[in-house]
Amino acid sequence: MSAAPVRSPTLRPHRMKKDESFLGKLGGTLARKKKAKEVSDLQEEGKNAINAPMNPSTVDIHPEDTLLEENEERTMIDPNSKEDPKFKELIKVLIDWINDVLVEERIIVKQLEEDLYDGQVLQKLLEKLADRKLNVAEVTQSEIGQKQKLQTVLEAVHDLLRPHGWTIKWNIDSIHGKNLISILHLLVALAMHFRAPIRLPEHVSVQVVVVRKREGLLQTTHVTEELTTTTEMMMGRFERDAFDTLFDHAPDKLSVVKKSLITFVNKHLNKLNLEVTELETQFADGVYLVLLMGLLEDYFVPLHNFYLTPESFDQKVHNVSFAFELMQDGGLKKPKARPEDVVNLDLKSTLRVLYNLFTKYKNVE
């Protein structure tokens, strides 16, 4: 339809007034609804603030986790913590390590909670690491059988770890209940105790939601769970040294230290037409360390004692370990670093080793 013609200018104000009246009513209605909603929201916020201590967290809670007996509690990892890159890295490193250890068993772990809870993989892992056979049934389907196997495996683990001061942060129920925090604590302890050739990410912590049932109501609290600290602390070496301070508080001076050590090692390695430009990478296979010790102590190291062109991780660890033995033969204390750490390109460990050599041999021509 075509619009009606405007007959008189006097009609225009009347129409505008009508439009304004309609919009005004609409605006007034919207304003009243908005104000009512604000009041409702404010009342709800006040209600939540009063009841907050008694209400569950906003974290999504699985229905199974609400089926608690009075005074029972259950824990779960905060979803945000699961997305932390260091937490993901820790899980990946541990899974890769387990699969490497059990490669001959043709066991492939994909998910820690689902693959380790029944004790089967843990049994094989411990038997391989400790080089001992456990007296347990090979396959158990029932819950009772699985827990019996877990008990045997965990008792063997505890016998190994307790004499070395490890705090046991897991039990049969938590492992069988697929508690990822407990499983991670167990695996980190095993990896450290058996000096696994891996580099665990340091200072990994997660937020854990603890759900408790009190007087019929679920209550939640958040706690921080520390999964790893530093390699030195987890290995039981708690004393800090100059390099801890250097890395933590004076990283700007790190380049000065590296330059001094490079000058020191090249002074001797140049005699064999060798030169170092990158400390963390060029000493990782142990060859330069062995040759350097021969130069510093003025003897020839027989080539059959080490791998001149190491290819595998184990060959590199052998070389670094052999260099450490030569250092001790020369009167130095056993290095604080692990051979595996040097091979894994840990700069702090490599600097510690080289600095000890520098301290003793800096005046050797």
Per-residue pLDDT tens digits for 173-193: 999 999 999 999 999 999 988
Residue identified by tokens 């938590």 is 174
pLDDT of residue 49: 39
Are 157 and 190 a contacting pair, CB within 8 Å?
Answer: yes
Answer whether 94's CB lies under 8 Å from 191's CB: yes
> Measured between alpha carbons, how far is 344 from 347 in angstroms, rounded to an integer?
9
Q: Which of 10-24, 129-143, 200-214, 334-348 has the highest mean pLDDT?
A: 200-214
Dihedral, CA atoms, 105, 108, 111, 117, nearest 10 degrees? -20
Residue 182 CB partners (closer than 8 Å, separation 6+): 169, 170, 171, 174, 175
Q: What is the pLDDT of residue 341?
A: 82
Which CATH number covers residue 88?
1.10.418.10
Higher pLDDT, 124 or 214: 124
- Condensed to tens digits (0 to 9), the pLDDT of residues 203-242 reads 899 999 888 888 778 888 888 999 988 766 665 544 455 6
Quick one: pLDDT band at residue 12, thresholds 50, 70, 90? Answer: very low
Lowest mean pLDDT among 1-15, 247-261, 326-340, 347-361: 1-15
294-320 average pLDDT score: 91
CB 158 within 8 A of CB 168: yes
Q: Does residue 25 form part of some domain?
A: no
| Residue in this structure with the two tokens 């290095």, named with its chain if needed | 335
- Shared domain check, 297 and 196: no
Residue 171: the pLDDT is 92
Q: Is the pLDDT of residue 28 over 70?
A: no
CA 304 to CA 163: how far, in whole Å? 38
pLDDT of residue 48: 45
Range of the domain at 292: 240-362
**Residues contacting residue 194 through CB under 8 Å, at least 6 positions apart:** 129, 130
Distance CA 222, CA 76 (A): 10
Quote the Cα angle for 239-340-229, to 5°.
Answer: 45
In this prediction the pTM is 0.56
**Residue partners of 148: CB distance under 8 A and separation at least 6:** 136, 137, 140
Same-domain pairing of 247 and 356: yes
Q: Looking at the domain assignment, is residue 169 inside a domain?
A: yes
Q: Structurally, how many domains does the chain consist of? A: 2
184 with 254, same domain: the answer is: no
How many other β-carbons are positioned within 10 Å of the β-carbon of residue 33? 10
Which tokens go with 221? Answer: 């609290």
Which pLDDT score, from 0 to 100, does residue 46 have? 43
